[in-house]
Amino acid sequence: MINIKNEILNILKNNIAIDEETILNNITEIKEKNKGDYTFPCFVLSKILKKSPNQISDELKNSIKTNEIIEKIESVNGYLNFYINKELLIKEVFNEFDKLKDKYGSSNIGEGKTILIDYSSPNIAKPFHIGHMRSTIIGGALYNLYKFLGYNVVGINHLGDYGTQFGKLIEGYKLWHDEYNIEENPIDELTKIYVRINNLCEEDEEVLERCRNNFKLLEEKDPYCVELWNKFKELSLKEFNRTYDLLGSKFDSLNGEAFYIDKMPEVIQILEKNNKLTESEGARVVDLTDAGIDTPCIIQKSNGSSIYATRDLAAILYRARTYDYYKNIYVTGSDQILHFKQVFEVAKYLDLDEKYINGLEHVPFGMVRLPEGKLSTRKGNIVKLEDLLNDSINHAKEIIKEKREELENIDEVAQKVGIGAVIFNDLYNSRIKDEVFDLKEMLNFQGETCPYIQYMYVRINSIIEKYDKKVLINEIDYSKLNDELTYNIVKLLYNFTDTIILSTKKSEPYILSRYLIDLARAYSSFYSNNKVLSDDIDERNARIYLINIVGNVLKVGMNLLGIQMPNKM
Ligand code: ARG
SS (H, E, C) 432-444: CCCEECCHHHHCC
Any idea what DSSP says for residue 123?
A: B
Q: Can you tell me which atom of ligand 1 is nearest the CA of 131?
A: 4
Residue with more model confidence, 89 or 468: 89
Among protein residues, the one whose CA lies closest to atom 3 of ligand 1: 122
d(CA 137, CA 424) in angstroms, rounded, equals 9
Q: CA 311, CA 320: separation in Å to the nearest integer?
A: 14
Strands 79-84 and 360-365: unpaired
Cα of 121 from ligand 1 centre, angstroms: 5
Q: How far is the CA of 122 from the centre of ligand 1 (A)?
A: 7
Return the closest-CA partner of residue 102 out of 490, 496, 455.
496
Kindly report the backbone phi and psi dihedral angles of residue 27, in degrees, each rounded to the nearest multiple of 5, phi listed first.
-80, 120
User: Is 119 close to ligand 1, i.e. is its CB under 6 Å away?
Assistant: no
- Side-chain-side CA neighbours of 22 within 13 Å: the count stands at 10
Classify residue 472 by its DSSP letter: P
Digit-coded pLDDT (tens) for 127-173: 888 889 999 999 999 999 999 999 999 999 999 999 888 999 999 99
Q: Identify which of 235, 237, 259 has the alpha carbon closest to the alpha carbon of residue 249.
A: 237
- Nearest to 458, CA basis, from 569, 554, 372, 383: 569
Report whether residue 157 contacts ligand 1, using a CB cutoff of 6 Å.
no
CATH top class, domain 4-84:
alpha beta
**Residue 123, ligand 1, Cβ within 6 A:** yes
Residue 379: the pLDDT is 44
Give start and end residues of each alpha helix (H) in 468-536. 484-494, 496-505, 510-529
Q: Are 452 and 518 in contact (CB under 8 A)?
A: no
Rounded to whole angstroms, the Cα distance separating 50 from 561 reads 47
Q: Is 161 in the pocket of ligand 1 (CB under 6 A)?
A: no
Any atom of ligand 1 within 6 Å of the Cβ of 328? no
Alpha-carbon gap, residue 177 to 501, rounded angstroms: 51
Beta bridge pairs of residue 253? 156
**Per residue, what are the HEC states of 61-102?**
HHHCCCCCCEEEEEEECCEEEEEECHHHHHHHHHHHHHHHHH
Is residue 120 within 6 Å of ligand 1 at its C-beta?
no
7 C-alpha to center of ligand 1: Å? 45
Mean pLDDT of 424-451: 95
Whether 257 lines ligand 1, by a CB cut-off of 6 Å, is no
Task: Kindly state if the Cβ of 243 falls inside 6 Å of ligand 1.
Answer: no
Return the higher-pLDDT residue of 95 and 384: 95
* φ/ψ of residue 297, rounded to 5: -95, 115
Q: How confident is the model at residue 85 (pLDDT cuts 50, 70, 90)?
A: very high
Instruction: DSSP letter for 29, please.
Output: E
Distance from C-alpha of 18 to C-alpha of 38, rounded to nearest angstrom: 19
CA of 118 to the centre of ligand 1 (A): 8
Q: Say which residue, 49 or 382, is predicted with more confidence.
A: 49
Report the pLDDT averaged over residues 317-342: 98
Superfamily of chain region 385-561: Isoleucyl-tRNA Synthetase; Domain 1 (1.10.730.10)
Give CA–CA dist 253/235, Å, rounded.
Answer: 18
- Identify whether the C-beta of residue 41 lies closer than 8 Å to the C-beta of residue 79: yes
Cα–Cα distance between 31 and 43 in angstroms, integer? 20
Spatial contact of 332 and 135, defined as CB atoms under 8 Å apart: yes
- DSSP one-letter string for 329-367: EEEEEGGGHHHHHHHHHHHTTS---HHHHHTEEEEEE--
CA of 394 to the centre of ligand 1 (A): 31
CA distance 92 to 357: 40
Mean per-residue pLDDT, 404-417: 93
Mean pLDDT of 297-303: 92
For the chain, the C-alpha Rg in angstroms (whole number) is: 28
> Is the CB–ligand 1 distance for residue 330 below 6 Å?
yes
What percentage of the chain reaches a pLDDT higher than 70?
A: 98
Q: Is the CB of 160 under 6 A from ligand 1?
A: yes
Domains 4-84 and 385-561 share a fold: no
DSSP symbol at 160: B
Q: To test ligand 1's pocket by mutation, which of 332, 338, 367 has the most ligand atoms within 8 angstroms of CB?
A: 332
Confidence check: pLDDT of 385 > 90 = no
CA-to-CA distance for 556 and 561, rounded, in angstroms?
A: 9
Atom of ligand 1 nearest to the CA of 257: 10
Which residue minimizes the CA distance to atom 8 of ligand 1? 158
How much is the pLDDT for 65?
93
Bridge-based pairing of strands 283-286 and 297-300 is antiparallel
136 lines ligand 1 (CB under 6 A): no
Chain centre to alpha carbon of residue 390:
22
How far, in Å, is the centroid of ligand 1 from the Cα of 487?
A: 46
Ligand 1 pocket member 362 (CB < 6 A) = no
Q: Is 121 in the pocket of ligand 1 (CB under 6 A)?
A: yes
Q: pLDDT digits over 443-482, tens only?
A: 999 999 999 999 999 999 999 999 988 999 999 999 999 9
- Largest distance between two CA atoms of the chain: 89
Ligand 1 center from residue 296 Cα (angstroms): 19
Instruction: Please give the number of the atom of ligand 1 that sits closest to the Cα of 332.
Output: 7
For the chain, counts of helices (H) and of strands (E): 22, 13
In a 3-state reduction of DSSP, which class is residue 272?
helix
Asked if residue 380 has pLDDT above 70, the reply is no
Mean per-residue pLDDT over the chain, rounded: 94
Indicate whether residue 364 lines ligand 1 (CB < 6 A).
no
**How far does residue 316's CA lie from ligand 1's centre (Å)?**
14
Q: What is the dihedral of CA 550, 552, 555, 559, to 10 degrees?
A: -130
**Amino acid occupying residue 477:** D
Choose which residue among 132, 162, 318, 336 to substitute to test ligand 1 binding: the one with the highest number of ligand atoms within 8 A of its C-beta: 336
Q: Whose Cα sits closest to atom 9 in ligand 1?
A: 158
Residue nearest to atom 5 of ligand 1 (CA): 121
Ligand 1 touching residue 135 (CB < 6 A): no
Q: Ligand 1: which residue has its CA nearest to atom 1?
A: 160
Are the C-beta atoms of 420 and 558 separated by less than 8 Å?
A: yes
118 lines ligand 1 (CB under 6 A): yes
Residue 382 has what pLDDT? 66
Annotated domain spans of the chain: 4-84, 114-262+323-370, 385-561
Write the CATH number of the domain with boundaries 114-262+323-370: 3.40.50.620
- pLDDT for 381 beyond 90: no
Could you tell me if the CB of 131 is within 6 A of ligand 1?
Answer: no
Between the CA of 309 and the centroid of ligand 1 the distance, in Å, is 10
Spatial contact of 370 and 383, defined as CB atoms under 8 Å apart: yes
pLDDT of residue 185: 87
pLDDT score for 553: 98
The whole-angstrom separation of Cα 210 and Cα 16 is 75
Cα of 301 vs centre of ligand 1, distance in Å, is: 19
- Per this entry, what is the length of the chain? 569
When pLDDT is averaged across residues 102-112 and rounded to a whole number, the result is: 97
* DSSP designation for 254: -
